[in-house]
Amino acid sequence: MNLTDQTVLITGGAGFIGSNLVHLLHAQRPDCRLVVLDRLTYAGNPANLEPWLSSGDVILERIDLADQAAVHDCLQKHRPSAVFHLAAENHVDRSISGPRPFIDSNIIGTYVLLEECRALWSGQPGRLLHVSTDEVFGSLGDSGAFTESTPYDPSSPYSASKAASDHLVRAWNRTFGLDVVLTNCSNNFGPRQYPEKLIPVIIRNICDHKPLPVYGDGSNVRDWLFVDDHCHALLAAMERGQTARSYNVGTRNEWSNLRLVEHLCDRVDAHLGRTDSSRRLITFVTDRPGHDHRYAIDPTRIHTELGWSPRYAFEEALDLTVQWYLQNA
């Protein structure tokens, strides 16, 4: 599907990945008509969509995805032919302390969106790209990587709700013929991320001389993906991905939590011109329940089938991220 001159709907488009996708689409596909559907909870910020929100180049609809009547009216009003589905509750710690919002948003919300897309696109072209996570696959040992055929084995209420949404998307393709593509990404970082995730928390706390919390002994490993690279992968999957196909998005860039925090200390200290190392602020805290040991993505399929590869070296992307947070405290 070529997005040129199409109406494109981005659910969760005022959040972290969604707003970065809006920025990319505005630059790469300027003829698109962009509509953002977002509930604007704590992690959604209209300022992420500027300057295009003020100019009218981006339309923002403040809607709860689980409100089927409101979603119906939105889709019938704007009639998008492409939907990027990013709206989700996605913080593991929040899902442990209160799972219900994850059920409502990630499962019920996805069901509502699928039904309303099915109604809208009856007899006409339309495609939905469902953006998911590597956490649906569970935990890896010290070797190996997730592929698209890795069995699902979610550990947290968050990852279980995302796994359920993935299954719904596939079922709506097999049962109703809805044109869908799925992606499962590794840990994202970059500008506009709400400061509850590891990298923005550490940057902020270094600036404020506050303790740098690290779960357990810091040995948990994650594969880190720059958000701009992720958004280019989403665009490739929407435009060139095969119907009902899933694509894992990662960069083979694994860091233990402790090693990453230590590295961030050195990078932020350098940006701030500090000589007293912030590593002294590292504080080990009680590990969270069901904490997966290691995630790693094998991105071979998206490399070979869609020609996607990351554009940024990790150090360059990390420096851009640090600079953004220092400038947008």
Dump pLDDT digits (tens) for 89-123.
987 878 888 999 999 999 999 999 999 999 999 98
Strand partners, 222: 255
Residue 165 belongs to some domain of the structure: yes
pTM over 0.85: yes
In this prediction, residue 292 carries a pLDDT of 86
Q: Is residue 244 part of a domain?
A: yes
User: H or E segment at 327?
Assistant: helix 314-327
* 4 three-state secondary structure: coil
Number of domains into which the chain is organized: 1
For the sheet with 33-38, list strands across it. Answer: 58-62, 33-38, 7-11, 82-85, 127-133, 180-185, 246-249
Which residue ranges in the chain fall short of pLDDT 50?
none
**Dist CA 46 CA 40 (whole Å):** 8
Indicate whether 31 belongs to any domain: yes
* Euclidean distance between CA atoms 317 and 324, whole angstroms: 11
What pLDDT score was predicted for residue 165? 98
Instruction: Judge whether 264 lies within some domain.
Output: no
Helical segments of 104-211, H only:
109-120, 157-176, 198-207
- Structural domain that includes position 76: 7-189+224-252+297-312
Give the pair of three-digit tokens for residue 284. 């080990």
Residue 45, classed as helix, strand or coil, is coil
76 falls within a domain: yes
Q: What is the CATH number of the domain that holds 52?
A: 3.40.50.720
* Residue 97 belongs to a domain: yes
Q: CA of 227: how far to CAs of 102, 113, 130, 286, in Å?
A: 22, 24, 16, 29
- Known catalytic residues? 134-135, 158
The predicted structure's pLDDT at residue 298: 97
201 within domain boundaries: no
- Return the residue matching tokens 């005022």: 14
- Residue 82: inside a domain: yes
d(CA 65, CA 137): 25
pLDDT at 94: 86
